[in-house]
Amino acid sequence: MPAADQVRAHDGTALAHQRQGTGYPLVLLAGQANDHRWWDGVREDFHPAHSTITVDYRGTGGSGKPDEPYSTRGFAADVVAVLDELGVERADVYGTSMGGRVAQWLAALHPGRVRRLVLGCTSPGGPHATERDADVRRALAQPDPGAARQALVELMFTPSWPAEDPRTDQVLGDPDMPAHAKRRHLVASNEHDAWEVLPRITAPTLVLHGEQDRLTPPDNAPLLAERIPDARLHLLPDARHAYFLQRRPSATDLVRDFLAE
Average pLDDT over residues 70-80: 98
> With contact defined as beta carbons under 8 Å apart, do 233 and 222 qualify?
yes
For the beta sheet containing 50-55, the strands, ordered from the edge strand earlier in sequence to the opposite edge, are: 4-8, 14-21, 50-55, 24-29, 91-96, 114-120, 205-210, 232-236
Is residue 193 within 8 A of residue 131, CB to CB? The reply is no
Confidence bin at 185 (pLDDT 50/70/90) = very high
Whether 162 shows a pLDDT value over 50: the answer reads yes
The pLDDT value given to residue 1 = 43
pLDDT at residue 130 greater than cutoff 70: yes
Does residue 48 surpass a pLDDT of 90?
no
- Quote the pLDDT of residue 163: 80
Instruction: Render pLDDT for 215-241 as a digit per residue (tens, 0 to 9).
Output: 999 999 999 999 999 999 999 999 999
Residue 41 or 48, more confident: 41
pLDDT of residue 2: 46
